[in-house]
Amino acid sequence: MSPESRNRRQFSRRSLLRAGSVAAGFAAFGRSGLLIGTAHAAETIINPFTGYSISDGWWDHVNRGSLGGIDYVMGVGTPLPACASGQLRIDWNNGTGGYTATIVMANGMRSQYLHLSGFNGGERYVQQGEIVGYSGGAAGAPGSGSSTGPHLHWHLVTAGGTRVNPLDYVGAGSGGTGGGLPLEDRRLGHLGTAGGWAHMLSNLVLPGNTTYGAFSPGPGQSPRAMANIDGVMMLVYAGSNGWTTMSSGLAMDPGAPLNVLRTPANASAQIFTLEDGRLWHTFDGNGWKKFPSSVTVSGNCTFSMTANGTDLHGLFNDNGRLFHVWADGSGWHKGDTQVDLQPGSDLVAVIQPDGSLQGLSLEFSRVHHIFGANGRWNRIPTTASLPTGTPIAGRAAYGWPQLVANHNGAITHVWGTSSGWMCVPTGQTTNPGRRLSLVPDVASASLVGLTL
Ligand SMILES: [Zn+2]
């Protein structure tokens, strides 16, 4: 029996707690991305094409060498509403793109419709929903460019010039999926550093309303995840037939942020969520259980949990104030550190090899180092700069905690050295806005994790 099928059986018996894969002294510190739907600029973008089927998705484009786009099945001459208000630019000769309608939004973001058969009026400021042109794409027709059949190609370009997936930017309620991530891009990816950085996309596609956190089943093994998939807590793991999911049967608030970790005494994942203004603790102890803690939080709280032995610790940014949250034999506690943070900014908590609780926060476009010394808490800006809102994940390390960040699609490694902080792209890319979750195993030299 393979290790995975053995674990499948144990999980179905609700007894991962007793699984034999516990390594003495092994600790895994997990965290989840907390940035669903908040990673993008405030410009309102709708998807006017939700009624059309997609013939060629974002990753279909990228995987064949395109810069990316979404192709909608659409008959020639279909009116095309503006996805956003902005300045309309008309291009009669956009190379392989053919006739192209570009809308330049106030924040510099551009929307482009390609392969059109014609335009509706001239260059002007257009309101969202106004018809800007007509679809085309028939092979050889004027304006079709390289298109070989009727369709609409749509993509966005950031102010910085990076082409991005429009479905990552459309708001909920406009036909997008939950937080706006399209199904095709909800693909689980495996992040690793064995023999250089790797980012491999799996075949596992998760629904729109998924939050997750990675954890390690043991040193050297593929990370797993616990995921809140449309309100049901699921185990996500690699089996002999690829990545798959298994339900725990436990209900959660759909969309509730997760932090996942594993303590040395417990082979199973421990899951922390913020629901109904409270921290909840979920774990497998002869069946999955979910308990409210005594810790209450505001509606504007980001958090990161970690463990020191069997004691649980967290750093909470509760509406701009840093709190230390911990559980010990006497129950749950929430202590005010007297340190102010930028409200809503994300942070990472880890137990360093020396046993101290430390953290990194991303606020005011800069990574800050959080630590206690001489009886007080400190939050010191580092020289590493990243835009506030960048998806981050972290782990403990010798010296200072480390981060991996999705910096506008470039998977970037952030670490401190005695001569300053480094912020270096790994050469691996992902969709901007995709969340990361690391398996921060101090004992292991490699950084591994999952992307979603
Ligand atoms: Zn296309």
Ligand 1 centre distance from Cα of residue 54 (Å)? 10
Distance between Cα 184 and ligand 1 center (Å): 15
What is the whole-number distance in angstroms between the Cα of residue 70 and the centre of ligand 1?
A: 6
- Going from the Cα of 112 to the center of ligand 1, the distance in angstroms, rounded, reads 11
| Span from the CA of 61 to the centroid of ligand 1 (angstroms) | 7
Amino acid letter for position 65: G
DSSP string, 194-247: TTS-EEEEEEEE--SSEEEEEE-SSTTSPPEEEEEETTEEEEEEEETTEEEEEE
CA of 423 to the centre of ligand 1 (A): 33
Q: Write the CATH number of the domain with boundaries 54-168.
A: 2.70.70.10
Q: How many angstroms separate the alpha carbon of residue 153 from the centre of ligand 1?
A: 4
pLDDT at position 8 is 34
Give CA–CA dist 335/321, Å, rounded. 11
pTM for this model (two decimals): 0.62
Distance 66 CA to ligand 1 centre (A): 8
Structural domain boundaries in the chain:
13-28+182-451, 54-168
Q: What are phi and psi of 137, to 5 degrees?
A: 105, -5
Query: How far, in Å, is the centroid of ligand 1 from the Cα of 147?
Result: 8
- CA of 452 from ligand 1 middle (Å) equals 23
C-alpha 96 to ligand 1 mean position (Å):
10
135 CA from centroid of ligand 1 (Å): 13
Mean pLDDT per block of 10 residues along the chain (452 residues) reads 34 28 23 27 74 81 83 93 95 94 93 96 93 95 94 92 81 34 64 78 79 81 86 87 86 89 74 94 86 94 90 95 93 96 94 93 96 94 93 90 90 91 89 82 65 74
Burial readout 173-192 (b: 16 or more C-beta within 10 A, e: otherwise): eeebbbbbbbebbbbbbbbb
pLDDT on residue 242: 77
Distance 93 CA to ligand 1 centre (A): 17
CATH superfamily, domain 13-28+182-451, is Fucose-specific lectin (2.120.10.70)
pLDDT score for 83: 94
Which residues does 63 contact at the CB level (< 8 Å), separation at least 6? Answer: none
> Which residue matches tokens 């005695």?
418
The pLDDT score that the predictor gives to residue 180 is: 36
Please give the pLDDT value at position 12: 31
